[in-house]
Amino acid sequence: MGRLNYINRKIEGLKLGMAISKDLVKRIPPSTGSRAAFRDPAVELDVSGRSLTDEGFAEVASALVESLSYEGDQGRVVRLEELCLMNNRLSATSLQVLSPIIRLASNDLRDLDLSENNITINTEAEAAIWEDFLTSFKHCCLLRKIDLSHNALGPRAFEVMTRVYAKQEAVDLVLPTDFEQVQINERRTSTDIDGLGRVMRKMSVVSNPDDWGSDGDHDPKSDNKGSRHGSKSPEKTDFPPSQPESPLLYSTTRGLRSVPYIVLSDSDMTEAGALHLSYILEFHHVPERLLTRVPHVKAGAPAQQLLAYDESQCRGIIYLPNLLLGSAGRKVLQLAEVMRDGYLDYATDDLSGPSKTLVKSTNLLNSGARFGLVASTYDRRRRNTASTGHSDQAGQDDIIGSELDRARSRIQGTILQHAGPRSNDLWRAAFEMLSLGREIRPQTRYEPPLRPASKTKAPIIRTLIVPGITAKTLRPLTPLTLQRDPNQPISPWTAQFPKKSGSVHSTPTVIPPTPLTPNIPVVSAPLPRETARYRTKLPCGLPADVWRRILGLATGAEGIMSKSQQRSVLQWAMDRKTLRQESESLGLRASAQCWKILEATGCLAYEMDRP
């Protein structure tokens, strides 16, 4: 493995960036270093504390994109596994050139360190760069840690993070108890299970710890033999040989939802940021579950760092300390942690022994005890289907869920009162779409009465009078018969033509006229004369779904509001009964009125994709 370490270099800034760029380009053929690069393409780039700045990192990023994109007949020359850019005075501008690197290294990148930089998200341009940066993790499948600590991100960054997190694919877990049930039902032998495990590993569905390279985990000098961060496969001893080696099967493990550790400490998190982060916490799996799918960390400082995260009050998503975080923000995050941990405990009630101890979180159970409760399930919508054996725990979770909703509503009301709905992209888009939806609302009116049909009048024949020409009297046209005898011969043409000179005199044959059929009267049904109440169509005759897309593009709701939220807002806008509901709350504060509308339309928070 090629470890490019530039910590002890005397140069820094743009000069260092150009030096790193040259070293990376040397790995591309026909350079002299290409042979060694083909033998070992794995690269760990460490540029900690060298003040690269945005200009210097732009040089590094250009070389990384070029080397990562190269793939010759012998394979690739760079597989970026670790990238440490700590304390390099990087701003949000550097994230724009970092996003392509993450996309190119999505199958190899394991650790990304951007701590102690100058990344702030305040303007619309910075928010767009930040969103694209977070979206670039969509296909990362081996990422173990993202460190964004000691950056003054601000509350806007957490809202964008929640929006991106909500749109990414959820991590769907299949527990070993479900696999045991399949064994019992189908009576599979251990050979069948091993074969199934090999097939699933070939499909990249189940993890095999032996497939990961040895990263120094067997170092006899390592002090982490008993921890999950220092051992090769810590779960092997917890399951019998007849079971798969990995305790969890995954249908998908990509994106931000699959990252075991996301470090956000000292990031200028306020109550607004805590509100958004609470929705991520409620859905994010604890590290014990996600670490079974990524390569094990090397022994030494990296493993010690992860152990320090495990011993903190946070689990996986490290948000403490944050000096700007008040009591309301701390409470909503703690409640979200308890709900999250309760779901995992409920999901592993059938486990026993060391595997259950591995999954449980002592520090979060203690935080739940501070509220006098321990949660047992995570999705409040599933409580009605809970078994009777967990009814008491589900009741406790109902209380915690209600407390979490109240804590969130208090923060939401405070934000609406002091900053207004425009401080939140979701709220702004919802109200703009509601306003335009009222403009296209169909009006209810009464159709005018219809007049009865008038009698049929004879057609008016106009004659053109030309001087010097006598008008001829035309016989009325004989109408065609409706019926004719099929045995009657067709009459010849009886018109008389001028005789030719010398022709034989012949008397024209007169054919009797064909009898006409009796006139059949046309009877029309009487038209209703009562007034009919109806709703007119939407403007231009377009269906509601087309108008939803039009208004979504006009208000910028596409990519912010989900389709169900957009339909809910339009339904609220087109229903006249909602006007009465809004008028009943006119005596409340404007912030309370806004909160009620957002709550009724389901637009208080971003809609999360559930597994």
The predicted pLDDT at position 403 comes to 94
Q: Show contacts of 368-373: CB within 8 Å, 24+ apart.
A: 368/338, 368/341, 368/342, 368/400, 370/334, 371/334, 371/335, 371/338, 371/400, 371/403, 373/338, 373/397, 373/399, 373/400
Task: Divide the 611 residues of the chain into consecutive groups of 10 and give the mean pLDDT of each group.
Answer: 82 94 90 80 93 96 95 85 96 97 96 97 97 97 96 96 94 60 49 51 43 42 51 39 45 86 96 97 91 86 91 92 95 92 45 37 35 33 40 70 95 96 96 93 56 61 64 58 56 51 52 53 52 59 89 94 95 90 90 96 91 62
Pick from 257, 311, 319: which is nearest to 289 by CA? 257
The predicted pLDDT at position 8 comes to 85
Pick from 361, 356, 357, 318: which is nearest to 341 by CA? 361
DSSP code of residue 610: P
Q: Spell out the SS3 assignment of 262-281.
A: EECCCCCCCHHHHHHHHHHH
The predicted pLDDT at position 180 comes to 53
| 3-state DSSP percent of the chain in helix, strand and coil, to 5 | 45, 5, 45
Q: Show contacts of 69-73: CB within 8 Å, 24+ apart.
A: 69/104, 70/28, 70/29, 72/29, 72/38
The predicted pLDDT at position 498 comes to 54
The predicted pLDDT at position 97 comes to 97
Q: Model's pTM, two decimal places?
A: 0.70
The predicted pLDDT at position 263 comes to 98
User: CA 135, 274, 269: angle at the middle one, nearest 5?
Assistant: 85
Q: How far apart are the first and last CA of the chain?
A: 37
The predicted pLDDT at position 233 comes to 39
